Copies of this chain bind each other. A is one copy, B any other.
């Protein structure tokens, strides 16, 4: 799609016929992609962006690198929402190649498999599983009943995905209009799951807005876990029951999350970190191999000290 035709669709001024293939963050966009600046705190990313064009307000247009085109808009994030719709793939492909199923794989009754999908060898797809369009599943993977895998996702070798789990549902993203309407940011990315990953039942892993939500090799995820768009769950991490992750949070390798704990958005958690049950992580954790607890989060030993103080407070009072 040319930049001109996109601008026309979104009622913006532009005079360039460069070819645009999608949208992305300021950091990750290539010169064929459009990005956006909504929030001042990303101004530092703006200077270094390689994006072909950027949705930007009049105020900041001079901060753009010389070879990036300004698409002036009062509401960059709303323009992005409009753009995301232009690049959204079909919900269901009507054309395309019939799925390829590898050797010695079992497809039970009532399984749906989309177009252009490739299933490896020795795979088991159980009844009620939905495998969308343009999906790759590696060898020796088991998909239990009533699992849903949305289009474009990839799953590695030797994975087990338990019943009712959803891979690739839309991330929770929308722009606000002045009159209180929400305009969907179409989630045009996917989920990529590495090798030797086991995921429990009724867990939800959302697809990325751009690029991928990533579950690295060897990860273990329990039941009823919520992983939002663009998260990265690092190699060998253990995510226990009912944990939740807001958007774009990154766990490095071998992080352990206790049950019912949560992680706010856009954070990074150092390798070999342990988060106690029911904790809430609201800041990035930079030092590896430590244990944390509570909400707001503190070192686990500090949390223990706090509980001791609370106990003394209660005892003192009863005298």
- Residue A166 at the B interface, CB < 8 A? yes
Task: State whether B124 touches A92 (Cβ < 8 A).
Answer: yes
Q: Is the CB of A244 within 8 A of B244?
A: no
Contacts of A130 in B (CB 8 A): 126-128, 145-146, 163
Question: Contact: B174 with A220, CB < 8 Å?
Answer: yes
| In the complex, chain B residues whose CB is within 8 Å of the CB of A244 | 224, 241-242, 259-260
Segment with Cβ contacts to B, from A28-36, A56-64, A78-86, A306-314:
A306-314
Contact with B along A276-319 (1 / 0, CB 8 A): 01101000000000000001101000100111011001100100
Q: Specify which chain B residues have a CB less than 8 angstroms from the CB of A317 in the assembled complex.
A: 305, 309
Asked if A236 is an interface residue, CB under 8 A from chain B, the answer is yes
User: In angstroms, how far is the closest chain B Cβ from the Cβ of A238?
Assistant: 8
CA distance A125 to B264 in the complex (A): 33
**The one of B150, B202, B236 that contacts A180, using a Cβ cutoff of 8 Å:** B236
Residues of chain B with a CB closer than 8 A to A16's CB = none
- A80-139 residues with Cβ-Cβ distance < 8 A to B are 91-92, 106, 108-110, 112, 124, 126-128, 130
- A223 near B201 (CB under 8 angstroms)? no
Asked whether, in the complex, the Cβ of A246 is within 8 Å of the Cβ of B228, the reply is no
Determine if A280 and B277 form an interchain contact, defined as CB atoms under 8 angstroms apart. yes
Cβ of A164 under 8 Å from chain B: yes
Alpha-carbon separation in the docked complex, A112 to B144 (Å):
13
Q: Give the residue name and chain of the B residue nearest to A260 (CB).
A: B262
Q: Tell whether, in the assembled complex, residue A198 and residue B184 are in contact, meaning their CB atoms are under 8 Å apart.
A: yes
Task: Report the nearest B residue to A236, measured CB to CB.
Answer: B180
Confirm or deny: A222 has a beta carbon within 8 angstroms of a beta carbon on chain B. yes
Is A146's CB under 8 angstroms from B144's CB? no
- Evaluate contact between A164 and B305: CB separation under 8 angstroms: no
With A163-B148, A202-B204: A242-B241 Cβ-Cβ less than 8 Å: no
Chain B nearest Cβ from A112, distance in angstroms? 4
In contact, A148 and B164 (Cβ under 8 angstroms) = yes
A residues 151-205 in Cβ contact with B at 8 Å: 160, 162-166, 169-170, 172, 174, 180-182, 184, 196, 198, 200-204
Mind listing 12 A-B residue pairs with CB under 8 Å?
A: A92-B108, A146-B166, A162-B166, A162-B169, A164-B165, A200-B204, A201-B204, A202-B203, A206-B223, A222-B226, A222-B228, A241-B244
What residues make up the interface of A, taking CB atoms closer than 8 Å to B? 91-92, 106, 108-110, 112, 124, 126-128, 130, 142, 144-146, 148, 150, 160, 162-166, 169-170, 172, 174, 180-182, 184, 196, 198, 200-204, 206, 218, 220, 222-224, 226, 228, 236, 240-242, 244, 246, 254, 259-260, 262, 264, 277-278, 280, 295-296, 298, 302, 305-307, 309-310, 313-314, 317
Known: A174-B198, A182-B220. 10 other contacts (CB 8 A): A91-B126, A92-B124, A112-B145, A144-B169, A163-B166, A174-B220, A180-B236, A242-B262, A246-B259, A259-B262
